[in-house]
Amino acid sequence: MDSKLIFAIVTITLALVVYTIGVFGERKAGILAKKHVIIFWLGLVCDTIGTLTMGAIAKSAEAVASPLHGITGFIAIVLMLFHAGWATWVLYKGDASKKQSFHKFSIVVWAIWLIPYFIGMYIGMR
């Protein structure tokens, strides 16, 4: 297995682990905190690095990409960016009610993020 592919798999899986810890840590805490926001940004960075690496591999191999994977992956990264940005804004504003209800949005973004993750896993196993 190519070292670039291993790097991409590890960084995307690290994004899954980090993002899951952030989302469910926030849910368990019952309130959005600075550490959760940092974890959301870290998850986004890991996912972006892994996705860009996978994209470079796909271009160099001239592989046929799955349009569904590309579309859902793009939507997931945009949602993660919006999620991390909004979390930062909510924390900055200090609105207690928004900080307590933010986990509902976090779960939705996390669930949507899983779609391209599992599509990519399926494509990789074929």
> What integer pLDDT is reported at residue 79 of this predicted model?
95
Q: Do 22 and 43 contact (CB within 8 A), yes or no?
A: yes
Helix axes 96-125, 67-93, angle to 10 degrees: 160
pLDDT in tens, 33-56: 999 999 999 999 999 999 999 888
Query: Reduced to 3 states, what is the DSSP secondary structure of residue 1?
Result: coil
Q: What is the pTM of this model?
A: 0.90
Collect the ranges in the chain with pLDDT lower than 50.
none
Per-residue pLDDT at 67:
79
pLDDT the model gives residue 62: 64
